[in-house]
Amino acid sequence: MTQLSYFSRPADGTTLVEINEILGVARVRNREASITGFMLYRHDCFVQVLEGGREQVSRLLERIMADDRHREINLVGCEDVERRTFSNWSMGFLSMREVSRRKLLEYSDTGDLDLARLDHGSLVELMAELAELAESSLPDSE
Ligand SMILES: Cc1cc2nc3c(=O)[nH]c(=O)nc-3n(C[C@H](O)[C@H](O)[C@H](O)COP(=O)(O)O)c2cc1C
């Protein structure tokens, strides 16, 4: 099993409506390919973790990298894992606006978290915590 993380910049003018469309397609396609993961969105940044078979994740990454709804795609990390972190999520999602300042302070001194500076392990840890918060309020549709 492979777990991969990247961050990118939304294309200019990307709206929450478009992000919802991305998520709708992503959840269907990911279920078909046994891919799970989580995505964080802030006005200036997407951060996404993808997990699944190496081939499936690679094929998905190719599609994502060719998607012009974002740019400056930066791979943060990729590693073999025994177990999924986001097994309940075909693609979980949280907007940073829903993340409390207190939670962010655990990951940065100022609370002004620069997501692009986190390493793969810290990103996965942060997103796993956020997924738990999200689980109670925004369950993934089964
Ligand atoms: C930030 C971002 C994240 C995405 N995440 C996924 C994903 O997890 N799964 C997925 O199938 N498509 C995802 N997409 C959409 C793909 O780029 C692509 O549009 C979609 O898979 C449909 O591909 P197709 O038109 O070649 O069939 C994402 C797009 C963006 C911009």
Q: pLDDT tens-digit profile of 101-141? A: 777 777 777 767 777 788 999 999 999 988 887 765 554 54
Q: Quick one: what percent of the chain has pLDDT higher than 70?
A: 92
Q: What is the pLDDT of residue 58?
A: 97
Task: Give 55 or 97, the one with higher predicted confidence.
Answer: 55
Residue 88 reports pLDDT greater than 60: yes
Number of H helices and number of E strands within the chain?
A: 4, 5
Give me the count of residues in the chain: 142
Q: Which residue CA neighbors atom 12 of ligand 1 most closely? A: 26
Q: Which residue CA neighbors atom 23 of ligand 1 most closely? A: 63
Domain 2-137: state its class. Answer: alpha beta
> Could you identify the atom of ligand 1 that is nearest to the CA of residue 67?
17
Q: What is the pLDDT of residue 96?
A: 82
Instruction: Report the separation in Å between the CA atom of 30 and the middle of ligand 1, taken as the mean of its atom positions.
Output: 9
- Answer for the pair 4, 56: CB distance below 8 angstroms, yes or no: no
Structure token digits, residue 57: 């994740």
Task: Please report the DSSP string for 18-73 in residue order.
Answer: HHHHHHHHHHHHHHHTT-EEEEEEETTEEEEEEEE-HHHHHHHHHHHHT-TTEEEE
Instruction: Report the separation in Å between the CA atom of 27 and the middle of ligand 1, taken as the mean of its atom positions.
Output: 9
Query: What's the order of all strands across the beta sheet hosting 45-52?
Result: 70-80, 2-10, 45-52, 36-42, 92-95
